[in-house]
Amino acid sequence: MTRDRICVIPGEDAAAEAVMHVLGLMKALDTGLDWHVCENTSAIGEDGRPQLAAEAKAAIDSSRATLFGATGGPNAAALFYLRWGKQTFANVRPTRWSAGMPSPLAKPEGIDLAIVRENLEDAYVLIEGDLAQLAPLKLRSRTAGIGPEAMGEGAFSVKAITREGSLRVARFAFELARQRKATGGAGRVTASAKYNMQPRTDGLFIECAREVANDFADIDFDVLIVDDCAHRIVRDPQRFDVLLLPNLYGDILSDAAAGLTGGLGLAASGCYGGDYAYFESAHGTAPDIAGKGIVNPVATLLSAAMLLDYCDRAPIASALRDAIDRLHADGRVLTPDVGGIASTAQVCDAILEHMQI
């Protein structure tokens, strides 16, 4: 691995457009990073199925981190390798409001939270099948009192929560809360899951969070049932600092939280492992606006800021975030999703100008 080498995988559709504009902005800054674009990530294996191209794997492995666009399929093998191959177990999705960002709330001031989502387990192990396959296990529903063989035609999905996975993502969340506290944050972790209905799986996740909390006396800790948590994110988002969630709930509630501070066009994401990380916007490929030149680059820019922090370029990351805040406060150069008429290129140019003020 080269310490200052960054792999860039643009992805597809409008997401790729955002990445390439952001890459141009990154190259205009004195980051000291070597940005290596890898566009061809898919190959066909001997079995005739798509797989990660050898050159793409080598590009990822030789880099300190990856800036990823988004994929609806063609780059899925690269994404799976970045996630499960590199064991990037903690997905961090920050949500912060600043003046000028559109919000459905009357008083969005003070929203500044980070959702830490376990990134490898839960329903995302993707083990599914027909209900009939479960019949030999002699399972019985605790609510209906019947087994799969009596439920009729249907399907099942495995939800897997492990003690090791829960402990490591919980520790990550508490360490993040400690870092945020050092810069003025509340120093609080809120763990949430549906532990009242799923005591074995979600209950284990909360049990592990409580165990880790004992090692962080300087960090406040509380627990919410996930439906109550969803309600409070909308009614009182300012109460949250770091929110710790299993994979599926974290995926859903992070998008809901983004809606409070301008939408997915402003939603950044970083996925962290023990020795690797990748960064991508949370808005997906946005095929409906591909080729129109109007995709909001801010989500990708904020993801790039997280990458800069990870690569020990905190001053540049801070300057980039400040420039984005000034862009929204000024309000003259915004893409259509946040009420403007500007293009992706115009927004990137304006942010670069704000960084030079």
Segments forming the whole domain that contains residue 60: 1-89+273-357
Q: Is the same domain home to 146 and 108? A: no
Does 357 score more than 70 pLDDT? Answer: no
CATH number at residue 34: 3.40.50
Q: What is the pLDDT of residue 56?
A: 95
Q: Which of 265, 293, 314 is the last residue of a domain?
A: 265
Q: How far apart are CA 126 and CA 109, in angstroms?
A: 39
Q: Is the same domain home to 216 and 142? A: no
Q: How far apart are CA 348 and CA 357, in angstroms?
A: 15
Query: What tokens does 145 get?
Result: 């009192």
Backbone torsions φ then ψ of 7, nearest 5 degrees = -85, 135
Q: What is the pLDDT of residue 275?
A: 96
Does 3 score more than 80 pLDDT? Answer: no
Single pTM value for the model = 0.95
Q: What is the pLDDT of residue 39?
A: 85
Q: Is the same domain home to 184 and 250? A: yes
Q: Is the same domain home to 100 and 168? A: yes
* pLDDT per position as a tens digit, 257-314: 999 999 999 999 999 999 999 999 999 999 999 999 999 999 999 999 999 999 999 9
Bridge partners (DSSP) of residue 154 are none
Look over the chain and give the mean of its residue pLDDT values, rounded to a whole number.
96
Q: What is the pLDDT of residue 80?
A: 95
Q: Is the same domain home to 290 and 260? A: no
Q: What is the pLDDT of residue 288?
A: 95
Query: What tokens does 210 get?
Result: 């409580």
* CB of 261 closer than 8 Å to CB of 234: no
Q: Is the same domain home to 114 and 237? A: yes
Q: Calculate what percentage of the chain has a pLDDT beyond 70.
A: 99
Q: Which of 231, 265, 299 is the last residue of a domain?
A: 265
Q: Is the same domain home to 106 and 212? A: yes
Q: How far apart are CA 316 and CA 26, in angstroms?
A: 10
Q: Is the same domain home to 14 and 101? A: no
* pLDDT per position as a tens digit, 48-66: 777 999 999 999 999 999 9
Mean pLDDT, range 317-344, rounded to an integer: 97
- With both helix axes pointing from N to C terminus, report the angle between 13-28 and 298-310 in degrees, rounded to the nearest 10: 50
Q: Is the same domain home to 111 and 207? A: yes
Sheet of 90-96, strand order: 34-37, 5-9, 65-68, 277-280, 270-272, 90-96, 112-118, 242-245, 188-193, 220-225
270-272 and 90-96 strand pairing: antiparallel
Q: Which of 198, 233, 265 is the last residue of a domain?
A: 265
Q: Is the same domain home to 346 and 293? A: yes
Does 44 score more than 90 pLDDT? Answer: no
The letter for the amino acid at 35 is: W
CATH number at residue 236: 3.40.718.10
Q: What is the pLDDT of residue 169?
A: 98
* pLDDT per position as a tens digit, 141-193: 999 999 998 999 999 999 999 999 999 999 999 999 999 999 999 999 999 99
**CA end-to-end distance (rounded Å), the chain:** 36
The letter for the amino acid at 82 is: L
Q: Is the same domain home to 28 and 110? A: no
- What is the band of 40 on the pLDDT scale with cuts at 50, 70, 90? confident
Place of tokens 């402990």: 167
Nearest Cα to Cα of residue 212 among 241, 174, 179 = 174
Q: What is the pLDDT of residue 101?
A: 95
Number of domain units in the chain: 3
Place of tokens 């141009």: 24
Q: Is the same domain home to 233 and 285? A: no
* CB of 93 closer than 8 Å to CB of 281: no
* pLDDT per position as a tens digit, 185-234: 999 999 999 999 999 999 999 999 999 999 999 999 999 999 999 999 99
Nearest Cα to Cα of residue 300 among 55, 66, 3, 41 = 66
Q: What is the pLDDT of residue 42?
A: 85
Q: How far apart are CA 307 and CA 279, in angstroms?
A: 6
Mean pLDDT, range 328-350, rounded to an integer: 97
Q: What is the pLDDT of residue 1?
A: 62
Q: Residue 129: how many CB atoms within 10 A of its CB?
A: 11
- Would you call 244 helix, strand, or coil by DSSP? strand
* pLDDT per position as a tens digit, 114-135: 999 999 999 999 999 999 999 9
Provide long-range contacts, Cβ within 8 A and 24+ apart, for 104-110: 104/259, 104/260, 105/237, 105/260, 108/237, 108/260, 108/261, 110/238
